[in-house]
Amino acid sequence: MILFVGLGNPGSQYEDTRHNIGFKIIDKLVNDFSARDISKNSFHGKLYRAANTLFLKPTTFMNLSGTSVQPVKHFFKVELEDIIVIHDDIDLPFGAVRFKRGGGHGGHNGLRSLDTYITKEYLRVRVGVGKPEHKSQVSDYVLHDFSQDEVSMLDALIAHVAEACKVLSGEELNEVKSKYSLKSIEGLTL
């Protein structure tokens, strides 16, 4: 069983924010796989399934994401190496895409929560959203919508990351990295 987790915040006011790129990619995957909703209150999130693949959007707010992932992991007996977390990353320029297993949370509250509840060795799909000029602006920045220029490229970026996710379960990580990693949105053929 593979579990894809998209990090984000529930609620329409957060729908188009940088912090919710993980939710947007999960929505694309759910649509592409025609996955069905199997959510339960105990999962603290929207959970979808297609064959042996699960797609989770925690509804706990970002800083409590682990309280959603942990019960899903246990209920479906998902191995840690089969958990793939898709999240925004301010340390990467907008449109950059990176893949890695384990590592630090880099100040990301969603990852911090996951590390606490399921340890750090899950696979991460890091999607660059750019960073503000000053460190003090980070929380405001990630909770704001993408710029008009970014919005025009967002569908292509989401489609690219969704394609990478589809092959992640069947190919070696290094293979996926070489095919799907991007340095910036310019690396994506629109």
Active site positions, annotated: 19
Q: Rounded to an integer, what distance in angstroms lies between the CA atom of residue 113 and that of residue 178? A: 29
Placement of tokens 């579990």 in the chain: 3
β-bridge mates for residue 63, sequence order: none
The alpha carbon dihedral of 130, 133, 134, 136 has a sign of: negative
Integer Cα distance of 86 and 127 in angstroms: 7
Secondary structure letter of residue 134 according to DSSP: S
DSSP codes joined into one string, 60-129: S-GGGTHHHHHHHHHHTT--GGGEEEEEEETTS-TT-EEEEES---TT-HHHHHHHHHH-S-SEEEEEE-
- In angstroms, the CA 148 to CA 153 distance is 9
- Residue corresponding to tokens 């989401």: 158
